[in-house]
Amino acid sequence: MSFWRKITRTSAPGVVILIRLVVGAVFLSEGIQKFLFPADLGVGRFTKIGIPSPEIMAPFVGVVEIVCGALMLIGLLTRLAAIPLIIDMLVAISTTKIPILLKSGFWAMAHEARVDYAMLLGALFLLMVGAGAWSIDARLSLSAVPRDG
């Protein structure tokens, strides 16, 4: 099986579009906001939480969230797009939610981590099942199948 076919194939039902829409929209929105509100959500926030080279990393993460979020929304290269978003969420949880856990306890952390947790699990789900029947990936996967005749 070709690499292209492996990353675009999906046997998931069309209803997976609901997960793609929520995950894609949240990441796209968050990426855009890193540029619209840099002091609160971009470079300023990255500086506050101790991310190295925040003036480089905040725009980089913003672009990753915009591009991968958009790919999720349209269902193109969904599995590949999920990988950087999973890494994004693991870093977000480790840098912002673990300190809350250590300082304020489990319930405070659970409250603050709800969106991060949902986005992490949503991206993991899409990595495992693919984009679903209603996606560009499904169309590309079908066109990659050799035809008889």
pLDDT by residue, tens only, the chain of 149 residues: 678 788 888 889 999 999 999 999 999 999 999 999 999 999 999 999 999 999 999 999 999 999 999 999 999 999 999 999 999 999 999 999 999 999 999 999 999 999 999 999 999 999 999 999 999 999 988 775 555 44
Q: What is the 3-state secondary structure (H, E, C) of the chain?
A: CCHHHHHHCCCCCHHHHHHHHHHHHHHHHHHHHHHHCHHHHCHHHHHHCCCCCHHHHHHHHHHHHHHHHHHHHHCCCHHHHHHHHHHHHHHHHHHHHHHHHHHHCHHHHHHHHHHHHHHHHHHHHHHHHCCCCCCHHHHHHHHCCCCCC
C-alpha distances in Å from residue 140, one per residue of 7, 14, 62: 10, 15, 28
Whether this model's pTM surpasses 0.75: yes
- Cα separation, 48 vs 81, in Å, equals 27
